[in-house]
Structure 1
Amino acid sequence: MRLTDAQVAEYEERGYLVFPGLVSHEEVEILRRDLHRVTGVEAEGVIREKSGAVRSVFRVHDETGPTASPPFQALATLPRVIDPARQVLGDEPVYVYHTKCNLKDAIDGAIWQWHQDYGYWKTDGVDRPDMTTSLLMLDEATEIGGCLYFIPGSHKLGRLDPEMDETTTSYKLWTVPKDQVIEIMTRFGDPVPITGKPGTVVLFHPNIVHGSGHNMSRHARWHIYTVYNQVSNRPHGIENPRPEWVVARRCDALATGSDDGILRLADADARRPAAE
């Protein structure tokens, strides 16, 4: 799947693109089932809220980790997912920097403060913001359900000096200071809610300022984020780097997979004899 010149220009101007229905209902259900399985794994990459509910699951793309998920591995190389990501990165070889599934339980799902993703990734030893994130909605994203919000165009500011917020939520996060966020909104306009049906994919720049609110609805909100990085931009030179479940050590270029890769896995599982 190739982006049009207009789509590339929109990504460069606004900092994101939205693709409704890019992943089918059947594929979404396969991914949801396997994510439900992975949430039961006890591992460092499974982050829980103070209530005990799962907040995030990392590293589902890597078959060598405890949270490995074959359907999510297939998702990362689907042509309709990886090709646009590769294109906005100049058609350079890319690998998966990390994957993260954010789960917001009904009523209890907590906020994500205003931040830039590259605000943190720079501290991992990544020299350039030559990265992009592909977000897949596994549930319908609504405003009352704690959808993502972008400040369109804010990526043009480059990386802003972040501050560490260790107390607002159960997950420590490098955030954009409040006064600076207000200034950015004044300059670029009010944030835009990123809503959509299950199967919607959103491609966005690592410097766009974004956040999400509390889930006040009766429905869960599950999102999967696949972060692509240029192979030439892999992290280096950092003492005591963050663990592999959040910053991948495997930086080999990804090959484009089969467009029915997720469905093939489900077919193979269906044909496998039941254990006696």
Structure 2
Amino acid sequence: MKITDQQRELYRTEGYMILPGVIPPAMLEMLREECSYYLGYYDSIMDAKGVQTENISHRGKRYFINNRYRLSNRLWQFIFSDLMAEVARATVGDEAYLFHEQWVVKGAEQGMKFAWHQDSGYVKWYNPTTEHKPYVTCWCTLDDVSEENGTVYLLPHSRGGTKSRIINHTKEDGTNDLIGYTGSDPGDPVIVPAGSIVAFDSFVFHRSGPNQTERMRRIYLPQYSAKPIDRPDGKPWAMATPFLKDGKNIYSHAEDAAERFGPFPETKKESVA
């Protein structure tokens, strides 16, 4: 994949770029399989709690399943791939960290809409003093997306007035969505095939419609930042896994696993008489 100068310029000025059909078929199939596992996993968690709604997830209707990649043996192969390194370099630059990742799934026929917001609006909601630079959201389609199945709508910076600021958001009763825009501009719907990446910066307003089709609408969404984004206590807001340094992919799966689970214990060698 080669990102063109025109795509880079659109991201710089309006905050987004669209890369149709760039995810290799084998990688796309892996993401679909992992998505199926995590949907069942999350339903079981909600069953154990006896709830139908958890934060902004609503069982059978809309799921946001966050920061579970270390539970998978395969997801890191996509998150830290050469493909995603190219996207990260073209958006946040030659130094990049995995900031956050999640599955975003709308259920068949009853998949809920999602209100106008900036992704950074959620960071500011929990940390009002944040002054972070925009990070990049990589909206990766596991299905063909259309207005009928609840695709994303983008409001470019020139129309949203969002190139350099995070808007204060309010919480919507019932859905728990944060809302940052209440104007009349409907935004631009993204119509792309499965295996596409829509990269937009975290200051861009976006929303999505309901899923009115007979099939789920599935998205995988890794996000990368140029610097770690911290909470007021100095700890990372979500994650800060090193990915790029001086433009090179420095991710180490072994080091990442050791940080999460601890190093493997050394085997004691017994002497033989």
Equivalent in 220, 223, 231 of residue 219 of structure 2: 223
Aligned to 1:160: 167
Aligned-pair identity in percent equals 22
Q: Within the alignment, does 1:248 sit opposite 2:271 as a pair?
A: no
Aligned to 1:33: 33
Structure 1 unaligned runs (5+)?
262-276
Q: Within the alignment, does 1:191 sit opposite 2:198 as a pair?
A: no
TM-score after normalising by structure 1: 0.75
Aligned to 1:13: 13
Please say if residues 127 and 235 of structure 1, whose CA atoms lie closer than 8 Å, have aligned partners that are also in contact.
Answer: no
Q: Deviations over 1:147-180 (max 9, x none)?
A: 100012233262111112232x2xx2321142xx
Aligned to 2:260: none
User: Quick one: which amino acid aligns to residue 79 of structure 2?
Assistant: A
TM-score after normalising by structure 2: 0.76
Aligned to 1:147: 151
Q: Deviations over 1:61-105 (max 9, x none)?
A: 2x1xxxx2233221111111122223321322x222111111111
Q: Which aligned pairs between 1:3-152 and structure 2 lie closer than 5 A? A: 3-41=3-41, 42-43=44-45, 50-52=58-60, 55-61=63-69, 63=70, 68-92=71-95, 94-125=96-127, 126-152=130-156
TM-superposed deviation, 1:138 = 0.3
User: Quick one: which amino acid aligns to residue 208 of structure 1?
Assistant: V
User: Quick one: which amino acid aligns to residue 109 of structure 2?
Assistant: I
Please say if residues 78 and 257 of structure 1, whose CA atoms lie closer than 8 Å, have aligned partners that are also in contact.
Answer: no
User: Quick one: which amino acid aligns to residue 87 of structure 1?
Assistant: A
Equivalent residue of 2:124, what SS?
Answer: helix
Q: Separation in 2 of the partners of 1:177 and 1:6?
A: 28
User: Quick one: which amino acid aligns to residue 122 of structure 2?
Assistant: Y
Q: Separation in 1 of the partners of 2:30 and 2:65?
A: 17
Equivalent residue of 1:207, what SS?
Answer: coil
Equivalent residue of 1:235, what SS?
Answer: coil
Structure 1 pair 89/50, CA: closer, same or farther in 2 (3 Å)? Answer: closer
Structure number, greater radius of gyration: 2
Q: Deviations over 1:178-230 (max 9, x none)?
A: 2xx33xx3xxxx51111211100111011111101111112210001111112
User: Quick one: which amino acid aligns to residue 156 of structure 2?
Assistant: P
Aligned length: 234
TM-superposed deviation, 1:123 = 3.9
Q: Separation in 1 of the partners of 2:238 and 2:73?
A: 17
Equivalent residue of 1:10, what SS?
Answer: helix
Aligned to 1:237: 232
TM-superposed deviation, 1:108 = 0.8
Equivalent residue of 1:236, what SS?
Answer: coil
Equivalent residue of 2:40, what SS?
Answer: coil
